[in-house]
Amino acid sequence: MRIGVLALQGDFIEHRQMLEALGVTAVEVRLPDQLAHLDGLIIPGGESTTIGKLAVMYGFMEPLRQFARTKGMWGTCAGMIFMAKDVGADQPLLGIMDIVVERNAFGRQVDSFEADLVVPALRDGETRPFPAVFIRAPKLVEAKGDARIMAALPDGTAVATQQGKWLATSFHPELTGDGRFHEYFLNLLKT
Amino acid sequence: MSDNGNVQKNGQAASFKVKAGLAQMLKGGVIMDVVTPEQAMIAEDAGAVAVMALERVPADIRVQGGVARMSDPGLIKEIMASVSIPVMAKVRIGHFVEAQILEVLGVDYIDESEVLTPADEEYHIYKHPFKVPFVCGCRNLGEALRRIGEGAAMIRTKGEAGTGDVVEAVRHARTVFGEIRRLQLMPDEELMTYAKNIGAPFSVVKEVKELGRLPVVNFAAGGIATPADAALMMQLGVDGVFVGSGIFKSGDPASRAKAIVQATTHYSNPEILAEVSENLGEPMVGINVSSLPEEEQLAVRGW
């Protein structure tokens, strides 16, 4: 399997390393023609405004939307914002997932945090919590249509969602040593 | 301004992972010095990953002289209100009260910076107890690891700020990467003496040998003025760049800022570098570092 990681800006190397540890070929994608022959794409954490502006400058928007029509895509943090239809702000968005996302919803960096999440969809998800890292994180305000919520914080805030072959997480599985979210994404691509 | 209710209810705040994690999100990006909210918005529009809020850019600090201190909190708050990207601000080396003030303001990163006049000529800030993460400058591996030992969650090679001359940034990056490469070849019995010789904590020396890189993100700073300079530093192996005076002291800041952002992403693609380097107007007027007397060099500040 060949998985692309959008490498315009952000922590794409961490995703690449996680994918390689799971035995798949990971490809850094900086130009639209590099989307060819990929089975799925991860949009990493980073600054969503920077990633969005670079994506527009290099003609990525339509090719990415096209890609998502048939392939799996997963956005972490900035990537979640980028995939959302509505973030309540004027910035470039792919707008493919039927989700409403609020940027920097937990506050500034001093409010960033770690939390253990129960994510039933993951392997051993009921018994072994997933260590989630939230950095200036967005929250999922609403999942519409067939987008469903995969995980929430103890206070009920939704932080992970799936819509068909698309995933979006407010947090950063690529910063943990736990590969179960990446594994889940890879399994999704096989279905 | 900061709603800690969220954090307390849901998990563990301000761990080192969370502090170092923000720097990981900035990788492959450009952090720009700005002195007004208008400049901050130009930087955000150009694709900056963060801005450094300052009263004066290093080039002006150099010309005007005097004691350079933490910026007015009012200005920092205005800049924070003007953009959605992270906002950093500088404190003087060793001035932990300036750091306490910036933490209360809610800045996203503190730069304990040699560009300001040092407040302590012996000790840096003990950075571990702060919730806000710190970035610190270095010229070599020993200096980087002392700062990490004190709690820095991000490192930047110092370069020589406010000159527009990239030579010191190159020297410092090459020094750090060269030392890491040599460390990787050292047998374990040599590590303690090596740690003693470079004045670095043994545990961090050991960690760097195992990782083959610094345990935190490492940006380049000090003298980057063109897209080619940014790409040069990226090809040397840094994770991203700070551009201080180089943008807003140039003829056409918006175009130059955008070009440097693109050069940092496409640093290994000379065709794109050639394209984005065209028609940027006048770069900042530079100062050759070799013509600067040692007492005017900022990089030597830090212990």
CATH number of the domain encompassing residue A44: 3.40.50.880
Q: Verify whether the Cβ–Cβ distance B21 to A133 is below 8 Å.
A: yes
What is the 8-class DSSP label of residue B1? -
Q: What is the pLDDT of residue B246?
A: 93
Q: What is the pLDDT of residue B7?
A: 57
Question: A-contacting residues of B 209-268, CB under 8 Å?
Answer: 261-262, 264-266
Q: Which amino acids of A are annotated catalytic?
A: 77, 172, 174
Residue B8 predicted with pLDDT over 60: no
Give me the torsion for CA of B262, B268, B272, B273, rounded to 10°: 80
What is the nearest CA distance from A185 to chain B, expressed in angstroms? 21
- Quick check: helix, strand or coil at residue B157? strand
Q: Which of B19, B24, B110, B219 would you mutate first to test chain A, the one with the most A CBs within 10 A?
A: B24
- Estimate the crossing angle of helix B73-82 against helix B37-46, to 10 degrees: 40
Cα angle value B187/B191/B197 (rounded, 5°): 135
Domain of residue A130 covers 2-189
Q: What is the pLDDT of residue A144?
A: 96
Average pLDDT, chain B: 95
CA A141 to the chain's CA centroid: 16
What is the nearest CA distance from A8 to chain B, expressed in angstroms? 6
* Residues of A whose CB is below 8 A from B79: none
* Residues of A whose CB is below 8 A from B19: 109, 112
Alpha-carbon distances, residue B24 vs A59, B47, B219 (angstroms): 26, 17, 11
What is the 8-class DSSP label of residue A76? E
Tokens (6 digits) for B67: 């004691």
Q: Verify whether the Cβ–Cβ distance A154 to B22 is below 8 Å.
A: no
Q: What is the pLDDT of residue B13?
A: 82
Q: How many domains does chain A have?
A: 1
Could you read off the pLDDT of A121-154 as tens digits, one per residue?
A: 999 999 999 999 999 999 999 999 999 999 999 9
Q: Is B21 on the interface with A (CB under 8 A)?
A: yes
Q: What is the pLDDT of residue B284?
A: 87
Instruction: Judge contact between A3 and A19, C-beta under 8 A.
Output: yes
Instruction: Judge contact between A32 and A59, C-beta under 8 A.
Output: yes
Average confidence (pLDDT) over B254-271: 98
Q: What is the pLDDT of residue B5?
A: 53
Measured over the CA atoms of residue B87, residue B8, residue B14 and residue A49, the dihedral's sign is negative
Whether the ipTM is more than 0.90: the answer is yes
Could you read off the pLDDT of B129-148 as tens digits, one per residue?
A: 999 999 999 999 999 999 99
Q: Is B3 on the interface with A (CB under 8 A)?
A: yes
Q: What are phi and psi of B60, to 5 degrees?
A: -75, -35
Residue B1 predicted with pLDDT over 70: no
Could you read off the pLDDT of A60-112 as tens digits, one per residue?
A: 999 999 999 999 999 999 999 999 999 999 999 999 999 999 999 999 999 99
Name the least confident of A157-161, B12-16, B262-266. B12-16
- Quick check: helix, strand or coil at residue A182? helix
* Alpha-carbon span B143 to B161, nearest angstrom: 17
Residue in B closest to A154 by C-alpha: B10
Q: What is the pLDDT of residue A182?
A: 98
Q: Verify whether the Cβ–Cβ distance B14 to A112 is below 8 Å.
A: yes
CA A57 to the chain's CA centroid: 21
Residue B10 predicted with pLDDT over 90: no
Q: What is the pLDDT of residue B2?
A: 42
Question: A-contacting residues of B 62-121, CB under 8 Å?
Answer: 84-86, 103, 106-109
Which residues have CB under 8 Å from A60's CB, separation 6+? A6, A8, A32, A54
Q: What are phi and psi of A116, to 5 degrees?
A: -90, 125
* Alpha-carbon span B65 to B60, nearest angstrom: 8
